[in-house]
């Protein structure tokens, strides 16, 4: 990597978004991150200005859900950050990659109850995968790259990055980070064969779909898979779109208030193939689930 000329923290930050392939950000402008807004003015990134932070964050969450790469939102400190918490919470529950940048008071004013100061790690710690405050401009490439990796890797989710006002105006000479791509995993051939054997011998199998990163091709493939092996397919909370409700193998939705018939079908299943989601009966502790106790890890 080549160290670039001295830049402000705001310019370094926006250059990292460009390096990560960000094409659009949503925001409600605020004085706490003016240096970043100045850098956005001359960047190729499309800036969508919103009337309220909740809407801006939800737009970024939707962008992440549609593209598979983090939706990016900027909001100002204090009330702006708390208003944006709606979108962060949705991203966490829907496993959506998202990055929320929030303004912060000058580092020299921290812990003095400065105007609209918040402890973002305390505020967002339970609804985000990672919360970090960047205190030096030379660490921006490192931490932004890590934020993209955390947001996309494993179970995707939101990351919150706090931007002290003085850090955005300070300067540094630092190289840009490389573009982050999530590692892709897939089952081993032996595991696929084991699943096939279990389904072939099952008398009452059931497939449950959930999780994120589903593409049109993936949903069509799972529908063909269900048809080929004559498998009933249910969807987990907020995942009703993964199979058409009028599909011949659709078994119902396990969201809020599932039907008694579907509950009975789960209790009576001898093999449950759970694709992309935690167990709907015991999230997040599958070892305590009655299904897992009866059937092991099937």
Tell me, letter by letter, the H, E, C secondary structure of the chain.
CCECCCEEHHHHHHHHHHHCCCCEEEECCCHHHHHHHHHHHCCCCEEEECCCHHHHHHHHHHHHHHHCCCEEEEECCCHHHHHCHHHHHHHHHCCCCEEEEEEECCHHHCCCCCCCCCCHHHHHCCCCCEEEECCCHHHHHHHHHHHHHHHHCCCCCEEEEEEEHHHHHCEECCECCCCCCCCCCCCCHHHHHHHHHHHHHCCCEEEEECCCCCCHHHHHHHHHHHHHHCCCEEECCCCHHHCCCCCCCEEEECCCCCCHHHHHHHHHCCEEEEECCCCCCCCCCHHHCHHHHHHCCC
The string of pLDDT tens digits covering residues 22-41 is 999 999 999 889 999 999 99
Q: What is the mean pLDDT of residues 79-90?
A: 94
**pLDDT for 298 beyond 60:** no
Q: What is the mean pLDDT of residues 100-114?
A: 79
pLDDT at 238: 83
The string of pLDDT tens digits covering residues 125-168 is 999 999 999 999 999 999 999 999 999 998 899 999 999 999 99
Q: What is the mean pLDDT of the chain?
A: 88
pLDDT at 1: 60
pTM of the complete model: 0.81
pLDDT at 277: 72
Q: Tell me the pLDDT band of 234, cut-offs 50, 70 and 90.
A: very high
Domains parsed from the chain with CATH numbers: 7-172 (3.40.50.970), 189-295 (3.40.50.1220)
What percentage of the chain carries pLDDT values higher than 90? 57
């Amino acid at each position: 990597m080549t160290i670039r000329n001295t830049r402000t923290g705001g310019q370094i930050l926006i250059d990292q978004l460009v390096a990560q392939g960000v094409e659009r950000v949503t925001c409600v402008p605020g004085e706490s991150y003016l240096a970043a807004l100045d850098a956005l003015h001359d960047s190729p990134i499309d800036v969508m200005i919103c009337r309220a932070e909740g809407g801006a964050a939800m737009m970024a969450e939707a962008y992440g859900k549609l593209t598979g790469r983090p939706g990016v939102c900027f909001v100002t400190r204090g009330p702006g950050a708390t208003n944006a918490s709606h979108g962060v919470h949705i991203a966490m529950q829907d496993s959506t990659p998202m990055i929320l940048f929030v303004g912060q008071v000058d580092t020299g004013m921290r812990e003095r109850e400065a105007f609209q100061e918040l402890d973002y790690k305390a505020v967002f710690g339970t609804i985000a995968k990672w919360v970090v405050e960047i205190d030096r401009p030379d660490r921006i490439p490192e931490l932004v790259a890590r934020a993209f990796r955390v947001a996309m890797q494993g179970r995707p989710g939101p990351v919150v990055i706090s931007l002290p006002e003085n850090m955005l105006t300070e300067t540094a000479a630092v190289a840009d980070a490389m573009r982050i791509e999530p590692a892709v995993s897939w089952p081993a051939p032996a595991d696929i064969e084991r699943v096939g054997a279990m389904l072939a011998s099952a008398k009452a199998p059931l497939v449950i779909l959930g999780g994120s990163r589903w593409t049109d091709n993936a949903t069509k493939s799972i529908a063909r898979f269900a048809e080929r092996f004559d498998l009933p397919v249910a969807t987990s909370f907020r995942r009703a779109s993964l199979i058409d409700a009028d599909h011949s193998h659709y078994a119902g939705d396990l969201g809020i208030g599932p039907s008694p018939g579907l509950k009975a079908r789960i209790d009576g299943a001898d093999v449950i193939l759970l694709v992309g989601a935690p167990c709907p009966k015991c999230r997040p502790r599958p070892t305590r689930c009655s299904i897992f106790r009866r059937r092991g890890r099937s």
